[in-house]
């Protein structure tokens, strides 16, 4: 059993990770602004803001794995990169592994090619989100060796607005999108969480970013 703190535990990705980890018997702390509608076995719910440094430190205290399932929106729009840096430092100080939900726009279009969000045709309204996701990734890549982290990047269109089919399977990749023969890529929230918790239980990507899709 592993003690896992999920920051953003009531969001789409975070909520699925909380449920998957708890269903496997892990001790989960779900930290978010609002409490979920129903209680769940093996889950301790803590409400608060990641901008509250005291509340954040208390939420991750004793965690062996800290999961960052936050979005650069609302009051995190301007502080997302800074908050992620503080969480990473807490993980390093506490000797916890850090797991981060990546941004699909930061994947590359080809080996050694540009990032998806750097393409001229990339929707302008999404570029700011990809830019901060890229900044978080680069900060982790340049972090001290004592920080154990991984970033699991879902496909474009991952979210509650496109729940997709839950298959109980997934495939992993590296820096490139995992597209099918038609150039499409998708994964459900439940299957993303399956891959995420598998990585927690059986670490295979140390200080690395990797992609996941059906």
Q: How many of the other CB atoms lie within 10 Å of CB of 167?
A: 12
d(Cα 132, Cα 67) in Å, to the nearest integer? Answer: 17
Would you state the CATH architecture of domain 3-213? 3-Layer(aba) Sandwich (3.40)
pTM: 0.97
Q: Where are the domains of the chain?
A: 3-213
Q: Which two tokens stand for residue 146?
A: 């004592």
**For position 181, what pLDDT does the model report?**
86
Instruction: Name the residue among 190, 14, 211 with its Cα closest to residue 106.
Output: 211
**For position 178, what pLDDT does the model report?**
97
Q: Over its length of 214 residues, how does the chain's per-residue pLDDT go in tens digits?
A: 999 999 999 999 999 999 999 999 999 999 999 999 889 999 999 999 999 999 999 999 999 999 999 999 999 999 999 999 999 999 999 999 999 999 999 999 999 999 999 999 999 999 999 999 999 999 999 999 999 999 999 999 899 998 889 999 999 999 999 998 888 899 999 999 999 999 999 999 999 999 999 9
């Amino acid at each position: 059993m592993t003690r896992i703190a999920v920051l953003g535990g009531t969001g789409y990705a975070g909520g699925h990770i909380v449920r998957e980890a708890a269903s496997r018997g892990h001790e989960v702390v779900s930290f978010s602004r609002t409490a979920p509608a129903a209680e769940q076995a093996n889950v301790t719910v803590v409400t608060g803001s990641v901008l509250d440094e005291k509340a954040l430190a208390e939420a991750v205290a004793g965690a062996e794995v800290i999961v960052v399932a936050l979005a650069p929106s609302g009051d995190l729009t301007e502080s997302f990169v800074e908050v992620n840096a503080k969480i990473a430092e807490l993980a390093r100080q506490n000797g916890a592994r850090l797991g981060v939900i990546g941004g699909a726009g930061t994947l590359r279009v080809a080996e050694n090619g540009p990032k998806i969000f750097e393409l001229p045709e990339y929707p302008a309204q999404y570029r700011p989100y990809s830019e901060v996701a890229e900044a978080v990734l680069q900060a982790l890549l340049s972090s001290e060796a004592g920080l154990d982290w991984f970033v699991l990047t879902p496909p474009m269109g991952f979210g509650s607005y496109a729940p997709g089919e839950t298959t109980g399977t997934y495939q992993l990749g590296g820096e490139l999108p995992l597209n099918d023969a038609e150039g499409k890529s998708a994964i459900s929230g439940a299957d993303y969480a399956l891959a995420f918790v598998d990585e927690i239980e059986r670490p295979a990507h140390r200080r690395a970013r990797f992609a996941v899709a059906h």
